[in-house]
Amino acid sequence: MNPLIRKLEQFVRLSPGDRTVLTRAAAERVRKFAPRFDISREGDSPKDVHLILSGWACRYKQLEDGRRQIVSFFLPGDMCDLNVFILKEMDHSIGTISEVTIADLPREFFDEIGAGYPRIATALWWETLVNAAIQREWTMNLGQRTASERMAHLLCEIFFRLRLAGLTEDHSCEFPLTQADLAEATGLSKVHVNRTLQELRAAKLIVLKGKALMVPDLERLMDAGLFNANYLHMDREGSQLDANE
């Protein structure tokens, strides 16, 4: 099932018609990319909005001297900025981590949504606002948290987001990031990422091996990362009303 629909339904109730439109859009113009491939580069002219159907990707920025920062991850069901196409150039690059399938959503798709699908429009605004909140939380993460807090926080975030898209199984999830990726995302060195992961393992907070992550006790990992899920805004619109139904 389409992870975007799954995710948006956590926030709004979609009608069968809403679901059809989203399913159709995600089926046209599908592209597949190998791992470690750039889908688009800083300076490119943005054309479509990309929707991740499967696999993990990231946005990153690079300084002239080569320093690289991953500024966000794209997990299945995530979309890059709505309306990007009004900008002249991309200010960052988008690259795959694992093998990735995307659907390119053209301008017209969003016109259609705006005109006739108010629930989807609201859900997409929610997505946009949550993405902004995530980016703020990363700022907090890099600015204030220590290495192990930061790592724990990032792992919590990924786990929550995957769960929302229906991609976790009990205490586990897929985890295709290398320690080098984690270093670029956390602003730590590779060596220190390694030390930090050992620390989290020693504290029995994570089991990370191969391309799989297990979180035996999410509450404890959240505490270790000073993680508060508020910023993911995982509560259904008007859920007060639902309670009265």
Partner DNA sequence: GGCAAAAAATAACATAGGTTATTGATGGTG
Partner DNA sequence: CACCATCAATAACCTATGTTATTTTTTGCC
List residues near a second copy by CB under 8 A: 42-43, 59, 61, 63-65, 67-69, 71-72, 81-84, 86-89, 91-92, 122, 125-126, 128-129, 131-133, 135-140, 142-145, 186-187, 226, 230-231, 233, 235, 237, 239
Backbone angles phi and psi of 187, in degrees to 5? 75, 20
Closest separation in Å from C-beta 90 to a second copy: 9
228 binds DNA (CB under 7 A): no
139 binds DNA (CB under 7 A): no
Which one of DNA, a second copy, none is in contact with 195 (Cβ closer than 5 to 8 A by kind)? DNA
DSSP 176: -
Backbone angles phi and psi of 158, in degrees to 5? -60, -45
226 binds DNA (CB under 7 A): no
Sign (positive/negative) of CA torsion 21, 4, 166, 98? positive
What does the DSSP assignment read for 179-202?
HHHHHHHHT--HHHHHHHHHHHHH
Q: With respect to DNA, which residue has the nearer C-beta, 48 or 199? A: 199
220 binds DNA (CB under 7 A): no
Only segment of 122-130, 158-166, 183-191, 225-233 that touches DNA (CB under 7 A): 183-191
What does the DSSP assignment read for 46-100?
P-SEEEEEES-EEEEEE-TTS-EEEEEEE-TT-B--TTGGGSSS-SSEEEESS-E
Nearest to 198 by CA among 144, 151, 146: 151
Q: With respect to DNA, which residue has the nearer C-beta, 127 or 184? A: 184
146 binds DNA (CB under 7 A): yes
Q: With respect to DNA, which residue has the nearer C-beta, 101 or 178? A: 178
Closest separation in Å from C-beta 47 to a second copy: 15
Contact between 101 and 4 (Cβ < 8 Å): no
- Positions in the binding site for DNA (CB under 7 A): 146-148, 178-180, 187-192, 194-195, 197-198, 210-211
